[in-house]
Amino acid sequence: MPGAFFLGFLVFLMAVTGLSALFARDLLASIIMFSAFSYFAVLTYLTMGAPDVAFTEAVVGVVSTTFFIVALRRMKRGSSK
Protein backbone atom coordinates (compact mmCIF):
# COMPACT_ATOMS: atom_id res chain seq x y z
CA MET A 1 0.00 0.00 0.00
CA PRO A 2 2.08 2.95 -1.24
CA GLY A 3 -0.63 5.30 0.04
CA ALA A 4 0.20 4.48 3.66
CA PHE A 5 3.76 5.71 3.44
CA PHE A 6 2.86 8.88 1.55
CA LEU A 7 0.07 9.51 4.02
CA GLY A 8 2.42 8.84 6.92
CA PHE A 9 4.91 11.33 5.50
CA LEU A 10 2.25 14.03 5.13
CA VAL A 11 1.00 13.53 8.67
CA PHE A 12 4.61 13.65 9.81
CA LEU A 13 4.91 16.99 7.98
CA MET A 14 1.80 18.16 9.76
CA ALA A 15 3.31 17.15 13.08
CA VAL A 16 6.48 19.12 12.27
CA THR A 17 4.57 22.27 11.32
CA GLY A 18 2.28 21.86 14.36
CA LEU A 19 5.23 21.58 16.75
CA SER A 20 7.01 24.52 15.20
CA ALA A 21 3.82 26.56 15.41
CA LEU A 22 3.78 25.89 19.15
CA PHE A 23 7.46 26.40 19.79
CA ALA A 24 7.99 29.49 17.59
CA ARG A 25 8.89 32.47 19.69
CA ASP A 26 7.22 35.24 17.72
CA LEU A 27 3.43 35.09 17.46
CA LEU A 28 3.34 36.03 13.80
CA ALA A 29 5.80 33.21 12.99
CA SER A 30 3.64 30.70 14.84
CA ILE A 31 0.54 31.91 13.03
CA ILE A 32 2.29 31.41 9.69
CA MET A 33 3.40 27.93 10.73
CA PHE A 34 -0.17 27.30 11.83
CA SER A 35 -1.50 28.17 8.38
CA ALA A 36 1.17 25.85 6.93
CA PHE A 37 -0.14 23.15 9.27
CA SER A 38 -3.63 23.77 7.92
CA TYR A 39 -2.28 23.66 4.37
CA PHE A 40 -0.70 20.24 4.95
CA ALA A 41 -3.93 19.10 6.52
CA VAL A 42 -5.65 19.93 3.24
CA LEU A 43 -3.06 17.85 1.36
CA THR A 44 -3.52 14.94 3.77
CA TYR A 45 -7.28 14.99 3.31
CA LEU A 46 -6.80 14.94 -0.43
CA THR A 47 -4.51 11.91 -0.27
CA MET A 48 -7.15 10.29 1.92
CA GLY A 49 -9.64 10.82 -0.87
CA ALA A 50 -11.89 13.31 0.88
CA PRO A 51 -12.37 16.26 -1.54
CA ASP A 52 -15.26 17.82 0.41
CA VAL A 53 -13.38 17.80 3.66
CA ALA A 54 -10.22 19.08 1.94
CA PHE A 55 -12.13 21.96 0.34
CA THR A 56 -13.73 22.91 3.65
CA GLU A 57 -10.41 22.68 5.48
CA ALA A 58 -8.78 24.90 2.88
CA VAL A 59 -11.46 27.55 3.16
CA VAL A 60 -11.61 27.31 6.95
CA GLY A 61 -7.81 27.52 7.01
CA VAL A 62 -7.92 30.77 5.08
CA VAL A 63 -10.61 32.23 7.32
CA SER A 64 -8.94 31.14 10.55
CA THR A 65 -5.57 32.53 9.47
CA THR A 66 -7.28 35.82 8.61
CA PHE A 67 -8.92 35.86 12.02
CA PHE A 68 -5.58 35.16 13.69
CA ILE A 69 -3.82 37.93 11.76
CA VAL A 70 -6.59 40.45 12.47
CA ALA A 71 -6.61 39.54 16.14
CA LEU A 72 -2.81 39.81 16.23
CA ARG A 73 -2.92 43.29 14.66
CA ARG A 74 -5.33 44.49 17.28
CA MET A 75 -3.32 42.91 20.04
CA LYS A 76 -0.10 44.50 18.76
CA ARG A 77 -1.77 47.93 18.71
CA GLY A 78 -3.58 47.18 21.94
CA SER A 79 -0.50 46.03 23.84
CA SER A 80 1.45 49.17 23.01
CA LYS A 81 -0.07 51.01 25.97
- Give residues in contact with other proteins (CB under 8 A): 1, 3-5, 7-8, 11-12, 14-15, 18-19, 21-22, 27, 30-31, 34, 37-38, 41, 44-45, 48-57, 59-60, 62-64, 66-68, 70-72, 74-75, 78-79, 81
**Alpha carbons 7 and 12: distance in angstroms, whole number:** 8
Burial-class residue 38 by CB neighbours within 10 Å (0-12, 13-18, 19+).
buried
Counting Cα atoms < 13 Å in the Cβ hemisphere of 67 gives 7
Residue 72 C-beta: closest distance to other proteins, Å: 8
Residue 75 C-beta: closest distance to other proteins, Å: 5
